[in-house]
């Protein structure tokens, strides 16, 4: 049997490309550690479980493991409470033979706003990833320049992706234009891989075959990777078609991960390719072992699966990407408008033809928020009839009148010109050029009138044609770093700072969580992570820093006055934990917030309000800067509180002998 080729990290980009080029057949990128979870399990797959696959991946002969980026980064920080940097470290240790791959947005990186050049350079040069798949939801190749340069400068492999959809305007020549821009951005085809990113899963086999063929004819040496979701049910034939036309790398995932919106099942795909005469560089025993391993734990994630089950051929119309599809259903369910989903998807398919770009992050979010907002507004104001009405109106406008607004009735024109008035800021930023240029040019003028009202003409004048890389001013990194340090009360590591650059609020929360709960997200098995221990005698065992630990539940009390007592044995020592329930009666403690609020500098008791000269102070009294207005005693030490400015007391918020905590509001003083 032929030996499987292992492509190892630290191989120069050029050598990786030539190795793949010269090898027979195709390679597989496993999306098991990223997109599989994103598409069907809301990115909840924990590194604790994914690590179990790493030893198999290490010998499997994958082209790469996509284990990083996309929304996995943010969901890690926000929900799984994992740090993307520690994930890389753990994977590197367990699978040193495998190229680690990320998915990155050109100017939004792992966040959502367009970042300035200096932030992009800072981040890309500090994340230890081998293969950088980079896409633009506008297919604005100009936006990729900074990431491309930073990756290639490090000698890592850059993989520019064309965002693919199937529409009348996305022709081969349109895509060839993009490929040409990418090739010239990257100085040829020898150090890159070109990705066709079919993120919704809409490319028909013949369409894909034709596109790959067209690219390979123009650039015979270029390596093409086809990334495709399964949503329309046609993934396998489309992948085979791509391979037959010359794609060298295909994305697949463990069959046991496969639901509806992720990638194709890997064992099935291999069999299908081989039967068609295409060899696959992979060791099937390891693939099989990995597929079986998933079975051991995947049932723990049923709660994370989409409420919307089954393939959806209608994706070819609404084009919502695999990653965003389940999460929009989840949002609809939480927002109580799941019943409006069919209408929203219909409106999305019409909207797609009015404002043309690709529904992938952050575009998919803009589309979703804009369209679900429109449908919800009509539903709220006019009920079911309203929802029907807006669909009819848009259908008439798009399909019958070919988007000629002047052909619509006067009242319909007025209504369309209000359509985007409440659209989210991101939508407005998009049509103002904040993300780059739209692939088919700017939308019609009425869209601006609709979004901006009377100011629309000025807004069109302000619209930017340059890439955000040129227009977004540099961030002051050292100022941001010290702002972050202030928030967490210590100086952050380089990695923590990058988390903050991407998602400031969530990064601060993650650090607070980890400060409080340590490495719980890394060491607890998923059932305990999610549900804790339920019955007396249930226990969880783990190793921490090379030492064994055991936590065993002894008993769980009933809720009483907002508290539950949990008795556990931690390494045989009994401990009682008092847990506050959300219903815990919390004494309303007002904290000093505004500049006029005078807070307690320490915990203590208020033994004097006022000062010896004037006696007690009350609301209405005038105080002078530096004058003592109260005195706190703590452990027998006095602490004078001085008025920070001249002012009049609006409110005395504590009583004599009150015990106050640090930061608690003592006075409200109005400046005079």
CB distance 191 to 225 below 8 Å = no
Distance in angstroms (rounded) separating the CA atoms of residues 597 and 643: 11
Q: Per residue, what are the HEC states of 392-460? A: HHHHHHHHHCCCCHHHCCHHHHHHHCCCCCCCCHHHHHHHCCCCCCCCCCCCCHHHHHHHHHHHHHHHH
Residue 547 or 655 with smaller CB distance to other proteins: 547
Supply the minimum distance, in Å, between the C-beta of residue 585 and other proteins.
16
Distance in angstroms (rounded) separating the CA atoms of residues 23 and 281: 8
Supply the minimum distance, in Å, between the C-beta of residue 570 and other proteins.
5
Helix H or strand E encompassing 564: strand 563-570
Supply the minimum distance, in Å, between the C-beta of residue 647 and other proteins.
19
Supply the minimum distance, in Å, between the C-beta of residue 547 and other proteins.
5
Burial bucket for residue 261 (CB in 10 Å: 0-12, 13-18, 19+): buried
Residue 473 or 546 with smaller CB distance to other proteins: 546
Residue 451 or 598 with smaller CB distance to other proteins: 598
Residue 58 or 527 with smaller CB distance to other proteins: 527
Using only C-alpha atoms, the chain has a radius of gyration, in whole angstroms, of 29
What is the DSSP pairing of strand 193-198 with strand 223-228?
A: parallel
The pair phi, psi for residue 667, each rounded to 5°, is -135, 155
Supply the minimum distance, in Å, between the C-beta of residue 425 and other proteins.
25
DSSP category for residue 615: B
Residue 455 or 638 with smaller CB distance to other proteins: 638
Is the Cα torsion angle 39, 41, 43, 46 positive or negative in sign? negative
Residue 299 or 581 with smaller CB distance to other proteins: 581
User: 29 pairs with which residues across the strands?
Assistant: 64, 251
Distance in angstroms (rounded) separating the CA atoms of residues 77 and 513: 10
Supply the minimum distance, in Å, between the C-beta of residue 253 and other proteins.
23
Measured in whole angstroms, the distance separating CA 383 from the mean position of its chain's CA atoms is 33
Supply the minimum distance, in Å, between the C-beta of residue 580 and other proteins.
9
Give Cβ neighbours of residue 68 (< 8 Å, ≥ 6 apart): 34, 84, 87, 88, 100, 101, 102, 103, 127, 129
Which of these, 465, 131, 484, 531, lies nearest to 303 by C-alpha position?
A: 531
Supply the minimum distance, in Å, between the C-beta of residue 658 and other proteins.
12
Residue 208 or 665 with smaller CB distance to other proteins: 665
Output the CA–CA distances (angstroms, integers) from residue 417 to 412, 420, 456, in the order listed: 9, 7, 11
DSSP category for residue 360: S
Supply the minimum distance, in Å, between the C-beta of residue 531 and other proteins.
6
Binding interface with other proteins (CB under 8 A): 44, 78-79, 303, 490, 516-520, 523-524, 528-534, 540, 542, 544-545, 547, 549, 551, 553, 556, 564, 566, 568, 570-571, 575-577, 579, 581-582, 602-605, 612, 628, 634-638, 640, 659, 662
Provide the 3-class DSSP secondary structure of residue 219.
Answer: coil
Residue 387 or 524 with smaller CB distance to other proteins: 524
Residue 422 or 657 with smaller CB distance to other proteins: 657
CB distance 473 to 480 below 8 Å = no
Residue 516 or 585 with smaller CB distance to other proteins: 516
Residue 78 or 440 with smaller CB distance to other proteins: 78
Supply the minimum distance, in Å, between the C-beta of residue 44 and other proteins.
8
Residue 240 or 660 with smaller CB distance to other proteins: 660
Supply the minimum distance, in Å, between the C-beta of residue 334 and other proteins.
9
Which of these, 38, 74, 70, lies nearest to 259 by C-alpha position?
A: 38
Supply the minimum distance, in Å, between the C-beta of residue 651 and other proteins.
25
Distance in angstroms (rounded) separating the CA atoms of residues 580 and 425: 38
What is the DSSP pairing of strand 64-69 with strand 27-30?
A: parallel
């Amino acid at each position: 049997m032929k030996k499987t080729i292992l492509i190892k990290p630290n191989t120069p980009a050029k050598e990786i490309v030539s190795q793949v080029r010269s090898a027979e057949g195709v390679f597989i990128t496993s999306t098991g550690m990223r997109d599989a979870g994103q598409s069907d399990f809301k990115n909840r797959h924990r590194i604790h479980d994914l690590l179990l696959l790493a030893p198999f991946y290490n010998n499997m002969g994958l082209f790469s493991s996509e284990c990083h980026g996309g929304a996995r980064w943010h969901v890690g920080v926000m929900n799984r409470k994992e740090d993307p940097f520690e994930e890389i470290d753990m994977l590197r240790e367990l699978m040193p033979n495998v190229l680690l791959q990320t998915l990155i947005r050109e100017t939004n990186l792992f966040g959502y706003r367009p970042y300035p050049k200096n932030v992009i350079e800072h981040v890309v040069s500090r994340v230890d990833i081998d293969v950088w798949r980079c896409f633009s939801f506008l297919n604005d190749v100009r936006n990729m320049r900074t990431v491309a340069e930073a990756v290639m400068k490090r000698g890592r492999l850059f993989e520019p992706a064309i965002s693919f959809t199937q529409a009348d305007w996305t022709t081969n020549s349109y895509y060839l234009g993009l490929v040409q821009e990418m090739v010239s951005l990257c100085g040829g085809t020898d150090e890159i891989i070109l990705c066709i990113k079919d993120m919704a899963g809409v490319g028909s086999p013949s369409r894909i075959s034709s596109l790959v063929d067209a690219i390979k004819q123009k650039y015979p040496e270029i390596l093409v990777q086809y990334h495709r979701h399964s949503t329309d049910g046609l993934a396998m034939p489309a992948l085979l078609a791509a391979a037959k036309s010359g794609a060298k790398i295909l994305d697949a995932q463990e069959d046991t991960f496969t639901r509806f919106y992720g990638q194709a099942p890997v064992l099935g795909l291999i069999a299908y390719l081989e039967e068609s005469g295409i060899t696959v560089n992979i060791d099937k025993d390891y693939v099989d072992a990995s597929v079986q391993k998933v079975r051991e734990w995947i049932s723990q994630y049923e709660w994370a699966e989409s409420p919307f089950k089954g393939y959806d051929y209608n994706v070819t119309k609404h084009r919502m990407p695999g990653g965003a599809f389940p999460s929009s259903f989840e949002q609809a369910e939480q927002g109580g408008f799941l019943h409006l989903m069919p209408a929203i998807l219909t409106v999305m398919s019409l909207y797609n033809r009015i404002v043309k770009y690709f529904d992938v992050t952050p575009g998919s979010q803009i589309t979703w928020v804009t369209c679900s907002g429109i449908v919800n507004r009509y539903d709220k104001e006019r009920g079911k009839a309203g929802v029907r009405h807006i669909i009819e109106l848009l259908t008439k406008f798009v399909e019958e009148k070919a988007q000629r607004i002047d052909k619509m009735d006067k009242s319909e024109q007025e209504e369309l010109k209000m359509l985007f008035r409440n659209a989210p800021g991101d939508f407005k930023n998009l049509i103002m050029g904040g993300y780059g240029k739209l692939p088919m040019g700017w939308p019609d003028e009425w869209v601006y009138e609709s979004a901006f009202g009377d100011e629309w003409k000025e807004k069109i004048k302000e619209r930017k044609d340059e890439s955000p890389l040129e227009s977004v001013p540099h961030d002051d990194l050292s100022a941001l770093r010290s702002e972050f340090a202030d928030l967490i009360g210590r100086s952050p590591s380089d990695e923590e700072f990058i988390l903050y650059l991407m998602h400031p609020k969530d990064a601060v929360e993650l650090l607070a969580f980890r400060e409080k709960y340590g490495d719980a997200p890394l060491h607890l098995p998923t059932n305990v992570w999610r549900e804790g221990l339920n019955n007396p005698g249930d226990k969880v065992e783990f190793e921490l820093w090379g030492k064994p630990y055991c936590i065993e539940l002894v008993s769980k009390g009933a809720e009483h006055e907002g508290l539950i007592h949990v008795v556990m044995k931690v390494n045989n020592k009994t401990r009682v934990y008092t847990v506050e329930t959300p219903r815990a009666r919390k004494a309303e403690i007002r904290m000093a917030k505004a500049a006029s609020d005078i807070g307690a500098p320490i915990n203590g008791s208020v033994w004097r309000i006022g000062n010896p000269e004037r006696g007690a102070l009350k609301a209405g009294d005038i105080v002078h800067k530096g004058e003592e207005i109260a005195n706190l005693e703590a452990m027998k030490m006095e602490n004078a509180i001085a008025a920070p400015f001249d002012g009049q007391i609006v409110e005395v918020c504590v009583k004599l002998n009150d015990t106050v905590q640090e930061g608690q509001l003592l006075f409200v003083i109005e400046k005079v």
